[in-house]
Amino acid sequence: MVSKKAANKTGMSYDDIEPVLSADQLVDFFCEAFPDQDRSAHDFVEIKSGFLRLRQPAEHSMLRPGGIISGPTQMAVADRAAYAVILAHIGIVPMAVTSNLNMSFLRGVEARDFFADASLIKLGRRLATVDVRLWQDDPARVAAQSTVTYALPDR
């Protein structure tokens, strides 16, 4: 595994940093940290270097008038995907917290499964920044884009 420090100094991409947690380990953590959610709420379908894909099943409680997924739900999914990709690459750090989330809604998300693709932009000692893109059917047809920054505690 390439250290974050080495990646920053050598100009390597975060695509070169291998995950340290599996999908099952992430699900175990999320279920322990958020006990009101069951395992099916955390469907991490792909984890690889600098990247995580989350599948979110649509539920009636997520809908807004017009039958599309609400903005707050999309923001929560983007935040969860960002948290998961960070933890997948640094290990379990429960007190990593969202310090900024900026969201652009580009098209409606229909009331069916959708995906969040989270890619590390920067993974520093104190801050991690993640690009999250929500989509259905085709990852190239982005429904919403978010840039999420997490403050990381001393590790």
Q: What is the CA radius of gyration of the chain?
A: 15
What pLDDT, in 10s, does the model give residues 9-60?
445 467 778 999 999 999 999 999 999 987 877 899 999 999 999 999 999 9
What stretches of the chain adopt beta strand conformation (E)?
A: 43-48, 51-56, 63-64, 68-69, 97-105, 114-123, 127-135, 142-151
**Domain limits for position 54:** 4-151
**What CATH number does residue 138 fall under?**
3.10.129.10
What pLDDT, in 10s, does the model give residues 109-123?
999 999 999 999 999
Structural domain total, the chain: 1
| Least confidently predicted of 14-18, 58-62, 126-130, 142-146 | 14-18
Residues contacting residue 51 through CB under 8 Å, at least 6 positions apart: 15, 85, 117, 118, 119, 120
